[in-house]
């Protein structure tokens, strides 16, 4: 097993190798004589310091930016692949993200008093947003799935054959009708 300095050097080298085609970082390297990885690490450090200090509410903005930008990028990449595994991982992230935002909305007055809340939120969003960490799947399976299983049943299709042709009925159709009826009731009661 290699030592920590060797691992760090390998990590910095991989950042330099993966950012070789970015003109801004190449310009930084030419003008300063420092590796591109130093610019990346400096940016990340300043980003987290700004979240930590939260001047003028910028911590909230930067935290939400981290929660949208990286998973959004991964989602765009996933839409361009033919496999569904990455789609499922990112769909799980967006479900956990939505659940977290609903909880956060209703407890904002309490969370305002938690020191370094936006720093913790950013770390949490990165944990659930980077697919290789598996955080979204863990949170979904341990918290959200047990709750949602009580209210949302899997859609099962049943087929009956009438002799002339197959008549296909699904519980999804019934659920869809119930949702349409509920949304119609809500939208017809709203006056603009």
What is the tens place of the pLDDT at every residue in 170-192?
555 666 677 666 656 554 554 54
pLDDT at 166 over 50: no
* Domain co-membership, 81 together with 167: no
> Using one digit for the tens of pLDDT, what is the confidence trace for 8-38?
888 888 888 888 888 999 999 999 999 999 9
| pLDDT the model gives residue 154 | 74
How many domains, in total, are found in the chain? 2
Does 21 fall in a domain? no
Same domain, 142 and 166: no
Instruction: Return d(Cα 159, Cα 166) in angstroms, integer.
Output: 7
Whether residue 170 is contained in a domain is answered as: yes
Q: What pLDDT does residue 167 have?
A: 44
Which of 52, 67, 59 shows the shortest CA–CA distance to 135?
67
Q: Are residues 132 and 89 in the same domain?
A: yes
Q: Same domain, yes or no, for 139 and 66?
A: yes
Are residues 131 and 178 both part of a single domain? no
Structural domain for 111, as ranges: 54-151
Q: What predicted TM-score, i.e. pTM, was given to this entire model?
A: 0.70
Within-domain flag for 102: yes
Whether residue 37 is contained in a domain is answered as: no
| pLDDT higher than 80, residue 2 | no
């Amino acid at each position: 097993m290699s030592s920590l300095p060797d691992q760090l050097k390998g990590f910095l080298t991989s950042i330099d190798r993966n950012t070789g085609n970015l003109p801004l970082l190449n310009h930084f390297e030419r003008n300063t004589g420092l590796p591109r990885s130093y610019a990346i690490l400096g940016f990340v450090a300043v980003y987290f310091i700004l979240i930590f200090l939260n001047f003028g509410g910028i911590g909230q903005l930067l935290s939400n930016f981290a929660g949208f930008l990286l998973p959004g990028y991964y989602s765009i990449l996933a839409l361009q692949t033919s496999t569904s595994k990455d789609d499922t991982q990112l769909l799980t992230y967006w479900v956990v993200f939505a659940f977290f935002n609903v909880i956060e909305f209703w407890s904002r007055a309490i969370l305002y008093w938690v020191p370094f809340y936006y720093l913790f939120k950013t770390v949490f969003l990165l944990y659930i947003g980077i697919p290789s960490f598996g955080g979204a799947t863990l949170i979904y399976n341990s918290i959200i799935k047990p709750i949602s299983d009580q209210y949302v049943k899997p859609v099962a299709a049943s087929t009956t054959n009438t002799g002339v042709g197959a008549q296909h009925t699904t519980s999804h159709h019934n659920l869809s009708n119930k949702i349409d009826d509920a949304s119609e009731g809500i939208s017809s009661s709203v006056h603009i």
